[in-house]
Amino acid sequence: MADDPQTPPVDPAPPAPVAAGDKPASSVPAEPLKADVSRTDAPGAGVSAAPVAAPREGPPAPTPKPAASAVGAALAPKAAAPHAPPAAAPPSGPTDPPPPADVAVPAFITALQRVLAGVTQVSYYLGDWTIIVPVALLPAAARHLRDAPDAAFDFCSDVTATDWPVRKDARFDVIYCLYSTRHRRRVRIKVKVGEQEPVPSMTGVWPAANWLEREVWDMFGVNFTGHPDRRRILMPDDWQGFPQRKDYPLEGPGELLMENPLDWLKLRQAREEADIE
């Protein structure tokens, strides 16, 4: 109201002096936080007059304890390193599986076994018949398979070989692949021979074996005897070694007898110059 006397303004009281290191008083008293630690309660109180850092909002996170399994693994002795397995032995050659009991041996094979008593081993694999023949009986077996009416294998479609160095006495398998144009069927003859063992040439039985045996000689060094023209067919005549053997080096020509291929090339050039002179 207008006639009420106005109360003269009162100057606010000056703030009380704050001692160094004391916390500023709050306008609203409150419970101190559980995490707050006064200077007098802190270790080393009174040593320094620096103010305490601002209080944390929550309790400190507990330090995780290592798991029992981790402690046990750390304390357990380390296991010894496993030994390396021994190297596998090199293969000794194909198994030449015999024919199953429910597969009948063809009549032309049984007829061959009756004529040549030494032909006893027959293999059957994936529908293909293979007759394993001793090398001494190879010419007689070849002529019988060509001339017998129930066989009539009149065409030699391929001659190949495989190298098994672990077999010292019979390193090579020499295989003749035959075909009968009359009966339209195939068969294979296999002989096992040593590295220098002579193998009679079958060019007199099948003329198509001429170049095929030359290729086997060129690549494997099989010792064909009685061949009309046994010389290299793929490699140069003065090539060293036989490239399809498993012990043939992969670095280049001339490694079997000379360590440096340049020496082999120099020797070849010297031979050519001698021929020119």
pTM over 0.85, yes/no: no
Cβ distance 164 to 91 under 8 Å?
yes
Mean residue pLDDT of the chain comes to 79
Domains of the chain: 107-236 (3.30.460.80)
Cβ distance 197 to 221 under 8 Å?
no
- Specify the pLDDT at position 47: 45
- Specify the pLDDT at position 172: 97
User: How many percent of the chain have pLDDT more than 70?
Assistant: 65
- Residue of higher predicted confidence among 265 and 55: 265
Q: Six-digit token pair at 39?
A: 């200077």
Report the relative pairing of strands 155-163 and 128-132 from DSSP bridges.
unpaired
For 99-111, write each residue's pLDDT tens digit: 999 999 999 999 9
Beta strands in 81-154 (DSSP E): 121-125, 128-132
